[in-house]
Structure 1
Amino acid sequence: MTAGVLFGGLVLFLALGVPIAFALGAATLTAVLGAGLNPIAVTQKLVSGLDSFPLMAIPFFLLAAELMTSGALAEVLLRFASMFVGHKRGGLGHTNILTITFFSGISGSALADAAGPGSLLIRMMRKSGYPPAYAAALTAAASIVGPIIPPSIVMILYALADEGVSVLRLFMAGVVPGLMISAAMIGYNAWASHRRDFRGEGEAPGLDEILRTAWRAIPALLLPTLIVVGVHSGAFTPTEASVIAVFYALFCGMVIYRTISWSMLPQLIARTAFMSAAILLIIAASSAFAWMLTYTQTPQVLTAWIQGLGLSPIMFLLAVNVFLLLFGIFIEPLPGVLVVAPILAPMAAALGIDPTHFAIVVIVNLNLGMITPPVASLLAVTGMIAKVRMADLNREIYPMLAIQILVLLLLTFVPVLSTGLPDLMGAK
């Protein structure tokens, strides 16, 4: 009964348009009062949900992304990507995908990728004759690799929700799936470019220009490498890596690219504080919601039910895919991970599914929700930038979404695509 009130309340509040953090908190409070518990417990769980050292990584990674994205970084990465594919047929579309892929190793956020370099790329594609709806849809579809390629805030939260995986192992596990999604989008853009006659831009650059552009892009591209190698070697923890990333980004912005001044820092810090507060509020509410799930023994009941059905691991994963593709339409990946991981991860473990493999399936699923109509938050962002109707965007996104679902199925049926790199690197 209490579990029904908990989930029913969440659905009701979301349907009424209540922001996700307040919907989670209100649903939890309703369930607590219905169960006759002391409502003070909700306050305690809200506070204790934030009392975690790894959570300190979130504001620091966000600040590092703000520092790296301020100024000329988007143009640097765009020129670096363009020199490889810009002159080919559909070159600007390829450049769009490669630039966002490079950028994802810095921002860790799909929305940041779409609103940052994505806005610049959409404008360039429009000027070159690409249909605005196609440019916006391609940018949104490419941007979902932001939370998949490390560093990733979603992966940090998943590791907190499921003790069966570590942040480092998830970071490494996301590399291959993220590159697979980018490669799939490049393949689709190549096909669409031949079919719709999207021309390339200019000629192939000379060796001198390639070397100059690559040299200028190296500092930006080294940040994700610094994080993964440093954490893997044991030189620092993921939380410490986030602090190092801030100082590295500050050095790049002030000394190497010279696009950041001291007067810009208050605004960058304030913007980071605002984003961090929004995310941490969701985490606090999700922690209270997860505590109520544990109190009602919902994960244990569902696990026993799933085991009683006698589902094979593959059938279970397919059922999870269908559920999360629908669930992800209505809820963002950050709160989505915190809600579903405590429920689904024990079921997967009971069926012998590798925790890292399952985590990647969950994370990719929830990110696909951001480009799945009718909600599609990423499409909303790129649509506003391109100034196109959602109906036109939907027509362009459906084939891209279908290709990414095929990639998801490949990740589902071939676990080594997620676990191979972490196992090879010895990530525990």
Structure 2
Amino acid sequence: MSLLIIFVFLGIAALGMPLAFSLGIASVAGLAYSDVDFNLLPSRMMNAVNAFPLMTIPFFILAGELMMKAGIMERLIDLANAVIGRVRGGLAHVTVLAGMGLSTVSGAAVADASALGSTMIPSLRKVYGVGFSSAVVAAAANLGPIIPPSGAMIVYAFMAGPTVSVGGLFMAGVVPGVILVASIMFLVWYIARKRNYPLTGEAFSWSRVGHELKRSWIIFLMPIIVIGGIVGGAFTATEGSAVAVVYALLIGFFVTKRLTLADLPEAMVRTAITSAVVGAMIAFASVVTYMLTVDQLPAQLTALLRGLTSDPLVFLLLVTLSLFVVGCFLESNAAYIMLVPLLHPIALLYGIDPLHFGFLFVFNLVIGMLTPPVGVVLFVLCGISGVKLGELVRHVWPFVALMYGLLLLCALFPGIVLWLPRLMGY
């Protein structure tokens, strides 16, 4: 009965109730209809969030906020313009490259969608119309959680436990991320050619590229220092996130000189709000997860899946299909917190590499941020551009199909995901 109550209230979340609130109601309702001591609620919640690795989340969020206020978007766009030159669909290509650069300092799709949308859509819509422009920004923003540093991968690694390294998961996203960038740019080129979009941008010039690289190289040094330090063992992921904040402050105050002391309170407040939402979901979900364990759902789910198939690939395909449905109705952070403790141990029983499964899990839910009815990136862009959700979905589906194609490719050929982590010693 307790499980039924829990899933009823989680279903309400898909209908619009705030996720943290819905998880809290589900926790209380599940305990009320069970024989478990109600006093477990506060202790379970406190133990769930009282974890040193979780400090990585607010630090990386704050680093991204500071870099945004430091004016890195302008430099990223100028560099992307110089690299692309004058081609058909050039402004859309610039958006994708700018999204790739932004993902190396942000790690969050919603933040990237907000930054790219407010900066690029006014220019894009004049050339391509509001629907296609918003779809390109949505696809570019979704690079954020795939190319490291990734907030989603940090949450996954925390929920999966010691079998998954944050640095290893970061490295797992590099090669698929580069392939995804190239694939999106090819799709943009194909659509631009098919629809006869005009040429945009200035003619390519090596001198211009060199000039923009001189202006921007110090920005791209941050992910090299931070991620390289984490992978190389110079510091932990939490320490690396703190280094990212210090680096962002130095960039903003002394390089771009766009960051002021007056900007810091707003950045810290926004960071606190975002971190509090994630923390609340982790706290309440820990109680729900405990209830699922008490009712032996993990063991039952393991037995069910093992009874259905003994083939790891079939298991991956079943998980992929399940996460596709989950991604349509549940916000990604809530899905990580609820499902990773259930599915990750089962994947290990099937002999699937934890980094391979972790990347596929994250990538699948990242794509879910572009699928209705609860595609948060879509809602952000609808608010920025004023495009109707139906029109945006019509334009974004080719990009979603492309991403699912790459997801299937990564599932069939694990080397795409695991080559770089293995090279780095993971």
TM-score by length of 2: 0.96
Query: Matched residues in 2 for 1:398 and 1:167: separation?
Result: 31
Give CA-to-partner distance per residue, 1:225-248, whole Å, 9 cap, x none. 111110122111000001110000
Distance 1:202 1:98, change over 3 A: closer
Give CA-to-partner distance per residue, 1:300-319, whole Å, 9 cap, x none. 22112211223411111111
Query: Matched residues in 2 for 1:247 and 1:61: separation?
Result: 11
Distance 1:16 1:132, change over 3 A: closer
What is the match of residue 376 of structure 1? 375
The answer to whether the 8 Å contact 2:2/2:34 transfers is yes
The answer to whether the 8 Å contact 2:69/2:263 transfers is no
**Structure 1: tracts of 5 or more residues without a match:** none
CA deviation after TM superposition for structure 1 residue 61, in Å:
0.7
What is the match of residue 394 of structure 1? 393
Matches within 5 A, 1:267-346: 267-346=266-345
CA deviation after TM superposition for structure 1 residue 81, in Å:
1.0
Q: 1:151 aligns with which of 149, 152, 169?
A: 149
Distance 1:310 1:80, change over 3 A: same
SS of the equivalent of 1:262 reads: coil
SS of the equivalent of 1:78 reads: helix
Give CA-to-partner distance per residue, 1:133-173, whole Å, 9 cap, x none. 00001111221111111111111111111122111111111
Distance 1:25 1:122, change over 3 A: same
What is the match of residue 2 of structure 1? 2
Query: Matched residues in 2 for 1:109 and 1:10: separation?
Result: 24
What is the match of residue 256 of structure 2? 257
Query: Matched residues in 1 for 2:201 and 2:135: separation?
Result: 24
Query: Matched residues in 2 for 1:197 and 1:141: separation?
Result: 21
Query: Matched residues in 2 for 1:108 and 1:121: separation?
Result: 19
The answer to whether the 8 Å contact 1:100/1:118 transfers is no
CA deviation after TM superposition for structure 1 residue 86, in Å:
4.0
Matches within 5 A, 1:330-369: 330-369=329-368
Quick one: which amino acid aligns to residue 137 of structure 2?
T
RMSD: 1.4
The answer to whether the 8 Å contact 2:84/2:204 transfers is no
SS of the equivalent of 1:216 reads: helix
What is the match of residue 17 of structure 1? 16
Query: Matched residues in 1 for 2:408 and 2:348: separation?
Result: 20
SS of the equivalent of 2:352 reads: coil
Quick one: which amino acid aligns to residue 333 of structure 1?
S
CA deviation after TM superposition for structure 1 residue 119, in Å:
2.1
The answer to whether the 8 Å contact 1:140/1:371 transfers is yes
The answer to whether the 8 Å contact 1:106/1:223 transfers is yes
SS of the equivalent of 1:107 reads: coil
Give CA-to-partner distance per residue, 1:322-347, whole Å, 9 cap, x none. 11011011112111111111111111
Give CA-to-partner distance per residue, 1:379-418, whole Å, 9 cap, x none. 1111222211112112111222111111111011111111
CA deviation after TM superposition for structure 1 residue 363, in Å:
0.6
Query: Matched residues in 1 for 2:269 and 2:5: separation?
Result: 38
The answer to whether the 8 Å contact 2:148/2:171 transfers is yes
Quick one: which amino acid aligns to residue 57 of structure 1?
T
What is the match of residue 100 of structure 1? 99
What is the match of residue 136 of structure 1? 134
What is the match of residue 46 of structure 1? 45
Identity %: 38
Query: Matched residues in 2 for 1:357 and 1:294: separation?
Result: 25
Query: Matched residues in 2 for 1:76 and 1:87: separation?
Result: 18
Number of equivalenced pairs:
425
What is the match of residue 403 of structure 1? 402
The answer to whether the 8 Å contact 1:6/1:27 transfers is yes
**Structure 2: tracts of 5 or more residues without a match:** none
Quick one: which amino acid aligns to residue 42 of structure 2?
T
The answer to whether the 8 Å contact 1:86/1:92 transfers is no
